[in-house]
Copies of this chain bind each other. A is one copy, B any other.
Amino acid sequence: MDIYNFGKELIVEAGRFIETRMTQNFQIDSKSNPNDLVTDVDKETEQFLYARILERFPEHRIIGEEGHGENISDTDGVIWIVDPIDGTLNFVHQGENFAISIGVFIDGEPYCGLIYDCMKRDLYHAKYKSGAFLNESALHQAENVPLNQSLVAVNPKRILREATRDPFFEIMAKSRSVRSYGSAALEFAMLAKGQISALMFFKLHPWDYTGGSIITGELGYKTTDIYGKDLPLLSSTSVISGNPEIHSEIIGHFTEDKSLHEFHDAFHDL
């Protein structure tokens, strides 16, 4: 079995692991701040994925939200970028609306992307240059819909800083309406289904966006940072994703703002 098919089976298996595990007691801790939660289930699921991948492919490397691969500084060979639970707050508060997200890269080039909506049992998947699918169904190519006819996803709490407010608010005001679902992976999945037309974040990590950017990339959606540059595999950055027309319209709101750029680069340690 190749990496893609192995990954598809693995992510569904990990989803079943979460579904079973969440019915038992689990501990909730906080990480960087009191609202950045991590549970035993996040850690155990990452360990589950880690063990299965290395059992099958001992030479592969893995970067995970819960600590694996922190020492990786180059993109040679096969790298799995894994978020065991994207949307941990939803997992804790809602018991649904979270996903496992996986992006696989070979020598720094995208190979495949996988997002599994555990509670809906929906698998979004794409192998580079081979189309994108929801379960067995091919997803449609992106349509060029402008901002003023679009639903746009954003995390409203994360853009309230003085330095970031203005461009984000201008874009939100021009949009048809704003949504916030609390899982970047599921927002990429909604983009892939055409349910929203763009998403924008001031800060995401590679495990939040690599699965989604590969899947939506197959459908013609464009994903970059606020400058329009390709996203890194080994560090956090801002993320703008959407159909080519809305992507360019959104990026246009950021390009002129030099003080934002200084803040952005310092914030992301670029």
Contact = CB atoms under 8 A, between A and B. Distances in A.
A160 B156 contact: no
Given A34-B148, A179-B182, A196 B156 contact: no
A224 to B, nearest CB: 23
13 contacts: A35-B148, A35-B176, A89-B151, A93-B194, A93-B196, A94-B151, A94-B195, A155-B178, A156-B172, A156-B180, A157-B175, A157-B177, A160-B172
A157 B172 CA distance: 6
B35 A182 contact: no
Contacts of A172: 156-157, 160
A154 interface: yes
Contact of A160 (B35, B169, B181): B169
A173 interface: yes
Interface residues of A, number: 28
Given A35-B176, A155-B177, A157-B178, 7 more contacts: A89-B151, A93-B151, A94-B151, A94-B190, A94-B195, A156-B172, A157-B172
Given A151-B182, A156-B154, A169-B160, A89 B177 contact: yes
Specify the main secondary structure of chain A where it touches its partner: mixed
A179 to B, nearest CB: 5
Interface in A190-238: 190, 194-196
Contacts of A93: 151, 194-196
Contacts of A89: 151, 176-177
A247 to B, nearest CB: 18
A148 B37 CA distance: 13
Which of A95, A148, A156 has the most chain B CB atoms inside 10 A of its CB? A156
A181 B182 contact: no
A160 B155 CA distance: 15
A148 B176 CA distance: 30
Contact of A179 (B148, B151, B180, B196): B180
A153 to B, nearest CB: 9
